[in-house]
């Protein structure tokens, strides 16, 4: 058995037994996962799940799955301590909202690239008409749906004035 929660030679109780104020037995189910030097780890798990429930869950699992289960319980317990109502579901929801916002921003950036390339396509035959009022285009593209948005990059960074892509070519190829 792992001796991660105990000092060499001396029997130091694991964080669980220390918090529960009991003797830490040689076959303590908590000792490998809640070492004495990480008391907050068990404290949050105990606060959310209770020692008896954690003990039951660990006893029912094969030893090779217990470490992952403890990691999940610690993550969920810490999320519950931070947000008692939503827990890790709140964190997942927040991350999903960030993904949605970033996907929208990516779609807008890709639309800007397509728009700029379409604006340049008809003017390739006449190099003199290749001059585009970049300030006007930036203002036009930045005011999408009537709301002002901050552009992540300038159009000069996006548009390659020397390379006209084939229709089958990726928009992001350099």
For 121-148, the pLDDT digits (tens) are: 865 555 554 444 555 555 444 444 444 4
At residue 121, the pLDDT reads 80
pLDDT digits (tens, 9 = 90+) for 65-79: 999 999 999 999 999
Question: How far is CA 26 from its chain centroid?
Answer: 39
* Residue whose structure tokens are 């792992």: 2
Torsion of CA 116, 122, 128, 129, to 10 degrees: -60
At residue 126, the pLDDT reads 53
* Residue whose structure tokens are 């809640």: 34
CB atoms within 10 A of CB 45: 28
Phi–psi pair at 147, nearest 5 degrees: -110, 140
Grade residue 164 by pLDDT with cuts at 50, 70 and 90.
very low
Q: Is residue 50 pLDDT above 50, yes or no?
A: yes
Quote the CA–CA distance of 72 and 45 in Å, as a whole number.
Answer: 10
Question: What's the pTM?
Answer: 0.54
Quote the CA–CA distance of 129 and 13 in Å, as a whole number.
Answer: 80
Phi–psi pair at 59, nearest 5 degrees: -65, -35
At residue 127, the pLDDT reads 52
Cβ pair 130, 120 in contact under 8 A: yes
Cβ pair 5, 15 in contact under 8 A: yes
Domain residue ranges in the chain: 15-82, 85-121
Q: In b/e form, how buried is each residue of 109-119, taking b as 16+ CB within 10 angstroms? A: beebbebbeee
Q: Is residue 104 pLDDT above 60, yes or no?
A: yes
The distance in angstroms from the start CA to the end CA of the chain is 56
Average pLDDT over residues 108-126: 83
């Amino acid at each position: 058995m792992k001796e991660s929660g105990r000092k060499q030679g001396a029997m130091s109780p694991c964080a669980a037994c220390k918090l529960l104020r009991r003797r830490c037995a040689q076959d303590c189910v908590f000792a490998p996962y809640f070492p004495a030097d990480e008391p907050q780890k068990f404290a949050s798990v105990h606060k959310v799940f209770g020692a008896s429930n954690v003990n039951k869950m660990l006893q029912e699992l094969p030893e090779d799955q217990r470490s992952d289960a403890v990691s999940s319980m610690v993550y969920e317990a810490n999320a519950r301590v931070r947000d008692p109502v939503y827990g890790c579901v709140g964190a997942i929801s927040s991350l999903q909202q960030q993904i949605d916002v970033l996907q929208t921003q990516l779609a807008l950036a890709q639309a800007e690239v397509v728009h700029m390339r379409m604006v340049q396509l008809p003017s390739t035959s006449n190099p003199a008409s290749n001059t585009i009022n970049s300030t006007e285009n930036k203002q036009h593209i930045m005011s999408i749906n009537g709301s002002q948005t901050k552009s992540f990059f300038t159009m000069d960074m996006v548009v390659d004035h020397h390379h006209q892509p084939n229709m089958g070519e990726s928009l992001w190829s350099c």
